[in-house]
Structure 1
Amino acid sequence: MTDKKVVDLTTSMAEVTVSKDEGRPKDQGRPRGSGRSRMTEEEFAVKQEEKLKKIEIVDAKVTGKVKHYNIMGHYGFIETEDGQDVFVHQTSIKSSKMPFYLRTLADNEPVQFDVGKTADNTFEAINVTGPDGADVIGSPYYMLQIRSFRLAYYAAKEARDKRRQSPKDPAEAEKHPRARRGEAQKEPKAEGDAQKTRTRGPRRRRDRKEAV
């Protein structure tokens, strides 16, 4: 599966996911059998406001680039222009076209953010946006955060790897290491090295002489 196919598939699945969320009552949560209930965008915004009240902003509109972002872990690090690494969580991404539970950051993408000091005297990036408040780019693999898509993605990857190990094309099979090993075992030995096998004729039955 190429990167382009992954991006197209994630985009189509995201549209389906967003449409389902929009058509579902706010107090209903996620569909049956899909796990715990999910917050709405309004509930998330309220929770973010409560979080920001507990954080002291020590520096505003800091620019930098994403050093690394772990999609499955929902966190990463932003490197400022002066070389400092600042922790960032998914919930701190403010401007994005994606629902809050699908928001990500792309590695090396430029961002703008505020540096906040938490109650335990640690620093983290909050109000993360793109340059000048624009939407963040995000990772093309953001749909891996959804379990059903993640299982399908890795199942397809495993099947693709198996096909590569056992090619069906005869021309490709000849180039395969296993095929070459099989041919080496089937190669006839030289005449000088051939072992002569002794052929045995039919056994003759000897009649026992009767004792007189």
Structure 2
Amino acid sequence: MTALLEVARLSARYGRGAPVLHEVALELGQGEFVTVIGANTAGKSTLLRAISGVGPAVEGSIRFDGRELTAVAPHARPKLGIAHVPEGRHVFPEMSVEENLAIGAHARGGAPGGGAAARLEAIFELFPRLRERRRQFGGTLSGGEQQMLAIGRGLMLEPRLLILDEPSLGLAPMIVEELHDRLVEIHRRGVAILLVEQNVSLALSVASRGYVLQSGSIVLEGPAGELLRDDRVREAYLGI
């Protein structure tokens, strides 16, 4: 499988603090679904921020479709086809659902048209509740609906790589199950996904491969099914 994302010898720190990531190596193929699991302080969000260019100072290499990302400004990375949906949703509360989604289309660059209407319709098909609430302010949506909106906004970029940080955090079990189905559908449509998720069962049930990050270093990697059966993963993250 041709590599879309290649991370090599990646170390990252905030300011003058101690490194949060230590020589991390990770690879994701074209159209692949990969997850990174680990404890809260493992450095998972820092890894995603390093890829999208927001936050930490980095050393090492991050290549996207053969291009070195560390030399690309953060605001230019979405135009390459990278959409980052951060933890916490960050919807615009006083803008409508439709206006929030339009922000994603503008972040893609180019003319405001450019197929945005077709992408909007595809998102409404994926998340019918967003269609029902298209005129509603983002701040009035439930937590699950805001997460759908945040993911939809990322998809308006028509990304080649969708980066998701803790999308199930704080959601009711029924909504988490629906989210599971939507992630599978997004991947089926050909979008590569890099998922950081505290819900290890969810992550390993939707991804094809996984990495375990511990104290800023990759300590395990392999097919998701194998990791789900690994005694170390089951004991540390599934309580089994």
TM-score for the superposition, normalised by structure 2: 0.26
Please identify the structure whose Cα radius of gyration is greater: 1
TM-score for the superposition, normalised by structure 1: 0.28
Higher strand share: 2
